[in-house]
Amino acid sequence: MIIKVLGPGCRNCQTVHENVLKAVEELERTDITVEYIKDTTEISKYIMATPGVVIDEVVVHEGKPLPTVDIIKEMITDEEYDFGDGESSGGCGCGGCGC
């Protein structure tokens, strides 16, 4: 599994990155690679508002509120994570493109 944290390096983005690292550690998952993407061109391929979290190329979070460690653990362990807006991790999570 590859988790990408997307953000230019602001405090909120750093917090999300720290939360992702802590979630992975608490789950004791050695099969997860965490990447922190700060390049704005790369970020814009996924999201419009930072911070963002991408799990195995699926956008699971964008913008605020910031996901807690517990929410991130749920995202990691639940293959059909519910984004709270009726969308599941079966698509990009934007709710508008029908992917």
Encode pLDDT of 28-75 as tens digits.
999 999 999 999 999 999 999 999 999 999 999 999 999 999 999 999
Q: What separation in angstroms does the CA of 35 have from each of 8, 68, 82?
A: 13, 18, 23
Please give the Cα distance from 86 to 10 (Å, whole number): 29
Kind and range of the H or E run holding 19? helix 11-27
Whole-model pTM? 0.78
Higher pLDDT, 67 or 86: 67
CATH number of the 2-77 domain: 3.40.30.10
Give the pLDDT of residue 78. Answer: 82
Q: What is the mean pLDDT of residues 3-26?
A: 97
Give the pLDDT of residue 2. Answer: 96
Half-sphere exposure of 31 (CA within 13 A, CB side): 5
**Domain ranges within the chain, ordered by starting residue:** 2-77
The model's confidence at residue 80, banded by pLDDT at 50, 70 and 90, is: low
